[in-house]
Amino acid sequence: MNTVLSRANSLFAFSLSVMAALTLGCFVTTAFKDRCVPVQLQVSRILLKNIEDFTGPRRRSDLGLLTFHITADLEKTFDWNVKQLFLYLSAEYSTKYNAVNQVVLWDKIVLRGDNPKLQVKDIKTKYFFFDDGNGLKGNPNVTLTLSWNVVPIAGILPLVTGSGHVSVPFPDAYDIMKTY
């Protein structure tokens, strides 16, 4: 006869196998879903300053200050396997020293149950937009893109880029106002 421990072990192993199969089924039903939605980005104000960079050598670096609007309906992205979305707005540009520069300017976490219609107006950058030199002054093509990570209950963590972006030129002169 089987002992109590042997029966408990069999029951535990069977339960674990069933839960693994259900988790795999959960992942497979949502793994190939297209989570890209249209995004509208608008930049309402751009300020460019040349300030002393205290993080490295005592040089002056460009600091970009943006005010922007974001509109997106993320309802299509949520399903029963999504726990939350990690949204972030990034700027991508090139300089004579670096072919690709990417900087995260703003982020937000949208939990399941929150309003999935994102509509923010006159938002300033959450993080400093520093360039490691003077690559922002007169840069004709700084592209802002809204992307997000889908945090699932089970499965992989996909990175999704919204289907809208905006390219803005930066000013040719520095702003000398004292407001940040």
Which residues contact residue 31 at a Cβ distance below 8 angstroms, ignoring those fewer than 6 apart? 155, 156
Angle at 157 between CA 153 and CA 163, to 5 degrees: 115
Side chain identity at residue 24, one-letter code: L
Q: Tens digit of pLDDT for each residue in 39-72?
A: 999 999 999 998 887 776 777 888 999 999 999 9
What mean pLDDT do residues 104-125 have? 94
**Element containing residue 63 per DSSP (H, E):** strand 59-73
**Which residues of 74-158 form beta strands (DSSP E)?**
82-93, 101-111, 117-124, 129-130, 142-152
Which residues contact residue 59 at a Cβ distance below 8 angstroms, ignoring those fewer than 6 apart? 52, 53, 133
pLDDT at 105: 96
Is the distance from CB of 88 to CB of 160 less than 8 angstroms?
no
Q: Which two tokens stand for residue 126?
A: 């959450």
What mean pLDDT do residues 164-180 have? 82
Q: Is the dihedral of CA 94, 100, 101, 104 positive or negative?
A: positive
- Listed residue (112, 117, 105) closest to 150, CA to CA: 112
What mean pLDDT do residues 91-120 have? 93
Rounded CA-CA distance 54/59 in Å is 8
pLDDT at 31 over 90: no
Q: How confident is the model at residue 106 (pLDDT cuts 50, 70, 90)?
A: very high
